[in-house]
Amino acid sequence: MKESGKQSNIFGPGWTNRREIFALFGIAKGLRKLLETGQASKNFMMITKKRLVIAALIAPLVGVVGLVIYAQQQVQVQPGKGIAVKGIEIEVQQTPEFQAANVRGKKIDNPRDWVEIEVEFDVDGVNPRDAVIPELIFRYYVGIRDQQNQAVVLTGDVVHVNVVGGESYYSAAYVAPSTLGKFTGDFKRFEAGKVQAVGVEIYYNGVLVGGGLEKVNAKFWEQIAPQPGVLSRQDTPFSLLWIDRYADEKNK
């Protein structure tokens, strides 16, 4: 976020800073005194009373909204490298099997394979350092090859919330067996080595603040048009596992 010597217009059009809120209350106080001392005409008193009521109702609301926006604007993440990716791991995980009471267990002979992409990251370039970032978007890219050996790029977003500056976290995304089978022809088995490339871009308020690559050194998704296919944890059965390991996700 760019800074300048001029204060930001946090209260919307016509409100340049919080001093004008205090000025409003000062004017209202003066007008009320005039009314009490009888130094204003009857017509003036009627008009002024209406304005005072409107001002009294609107000013606190404007002030609260403005302060919330002001507080959010104080969280600054350094563009390009505010979020440092420490590592990207590619694994194949089988569909997890859960047990529950009061239901009859059922055997699954061949659980299917999912691709799991896990990103470890540090929240370093934040000002203030311990600020809470309300929302970070992790945009994942996964490159595989189809049955004709043609390159395919899958993508999807994972939205993390309440990320604390100065802390380390993990993020994860998945490619479902049905998606893998659609391109490879095998709807049950998949090998991690068949993933050709992985990339992640991290955005805060629409600005790129970090990212990383695995198996490649260039943004391969800029050469091949990505298509949907990467899922967040909450869209998979893995959402019930390792909850405290990962940064919180935004509810859909």
Query: In whole angstroms, what is the distance from residue 156 CA to residue 16 CA?
Result: 39
pLDDT one digit per residue (tens) for the chain, 252 residues:
444 444 433 333 433 444 444 454 455 555 455 445 554 444 444 444 455 444 445 445 444 334 334 344 578 999 988 999 999 999 999 999 998 899 998 988 899 999 999 999 999 999 998 899 999 999 999 999 999 999 999 999 999 999 999 999 999 999 999 999 999 999 999 999 999 999 999 999 999 999 999 999 999 999 999 999 999 999 999 999 999 999 999 998
Domain coordinates of the chain in residue numbers? 19-73, 77-98+108-245
CATH of domain 77-98+108-245: 2.60.40.10
Separation CA 84–CA 120 (nearest Å): 9
Global pTM? Answer: 0.72
Give the CA distances from residue 179 to residues 147, 174, 212, in Å, rounded to whole numbers and listed in that order: 13, 10, 23
Contact 194, 144 (CB under 8 A): yes
